[in-house]
Amino acid sequence: MAIQPPTFVAAYGPGAYSSATTLTTSVTADSGDVLVLVATSGDANRTISTPTGGSGVNWTPREQVGPIEHYGRAVVWTSSVPSSHTFTVSMTAAGGNPGDNNVSFKVLRFRNSDGIGASAKANDMWLPTLGVPTTQENSALVVATTDWNALPGSSRAWNTAAGPVTEVYYYSGASQTDYFGVYPNVGALGTKTTGLVAPTGQQWSMVAVEVLGTTAPSVALSGSGSLALSSALPHVNTTIPVGAAGSLALLGSPATSGSVSLSGSGPLDIAHVSSGYFGSPNPLTFSGVGALTLDDPNAKPVYMWNGETWRSPDVWVWNGRAWLPIRANDIHIY
């Protein structure tokens, strides 16, 4: 079935802290939402604790870059939300040089998601580029990258090979430049290239995580229509109901041994009856509202009078049974 992409709802968080050791933000989420928390620091030795807060919200670490000398630290956690509420997310930052190195973080909220798929991390020089091997079509990707060289990002341009990007955070300071973004829908299954194509010359650390979409619900069809039994028909020995207004057409050659009923409004046509005989002791009955047509263009009339049946001499006999074609309006009862 088709996979619908998740819905990116909002990003929470104050952004950068110059020397704070306690990092907090208020988050409002609904039951079933998926949260992604990304955090970066220009100092690889500055640790960032696992987030806390929220009823039943348990953060799972996905990726971390650092500590690596001359590169910043980048981390990502995820959690589902079991019940709708507003709560405070808290973390602590320690070590490194807090006077010169900020910590940036955001909590991203998604709806209509079946959970988390792949994740990836990398660090290198020049342009931040990271391939994410998605596990499902139409997923979203969250990426966070920090530049230890702290190049100004005024000329920044996102890599859109995986699709359009929604930038949710940008910070440029003396010791780091941070870029957070969401690819809302990266389309078909495969490895998706994410990151930036400008500015060049960065010394970057980057993390990314896949937020899965959800399976589209099945669609039920109801209303009026027609039911046709064609080609090789089964032996009819019970009632065939049609529960909606429409038509029931028996286009083949059923051997009728019971009643055929139409429970909705519409016509019931038996166009060709060639099973050998048609009639007593198992008569065809019509219990619905509509028209019953018994028609054979080569048939001869049948007359009934005083309890006896009179018919034309054109009666065919085969395999020990008599076959008498019946034509519409040619049954006369006296």
In a domain, 311, yes or no: no
Q: How many domains does the chain have?
A: 1
pLDDT score, position 318: 56
**Chain segment 19-63, per-residue pLDDT in tens:** 678 899 999 999 999 999 999 998 888 889 999 999 999 999 999
Q: How confident is the model at residue 225 (pLDDT cuts 50, 70, 90)?
A: low
pLDDT score, position 234: 46
Number of neighbours of residue 52 by Cβ within 10 angstroms: 14
**Chain segment 2-14, per-residue pLDDT in tens:** 899 999 999 999 8
Task: Report the relative pairing of strands 302-305 and 308-311 from DSSP bridges.
Answer: antiparallel
3-state secondary structure of 59: coil
Looking at every residue in the chain, the average pLDDT score rounds to: 79
Q: How confident is the model at residue 264 (pLDDT cuts 50, 70, 90)?
A: low
In a domain, 90, yes or no: yes
The whole-number average pLDDT for the span 127-146 is 98
In a domain, 167, yes or no: yes
> Which phi and psi (to 5°) does residue 207 adopt?
-130, 155
pLDDT score, position 14: 80
Cis peptide before 254 (omega within 30 of 0): no
Domain that holds residue 133: 3-215
In a domain, 31, yes or no: yes
Angle (CA) 120-125-129 rounded to 5° is 35
In a domain, 102, yes or no: yes
Cis peptide before 67 (omega within 30 of 0): yes
282 pLDDT above the threshold of 70: no
Q: Report pTM.
A: 0.66
pLDDT score, position 271: 43
Token look-up 């950068």 returns 16
Task: Report the relative pairing of strands 246-250 and 268-270 from DSSP bridges.
Answer: parallel
In a domain, 184, yes or no: yes
DSSP run (H or E) holding 104: strand 103-111
In a domain, 324, yes or no: no
- Min mean pLDDT across 81-95, 120-134, 275-289 is at 275-289
In a domain, 17, yes or no: yes
Torsion angle, alpha carbons of 77, 78, 81, 85, to 10: 40
Across 9-18, 260-269, 287-296, 318-327, the highest mean pLDDT is recorded for 9-18
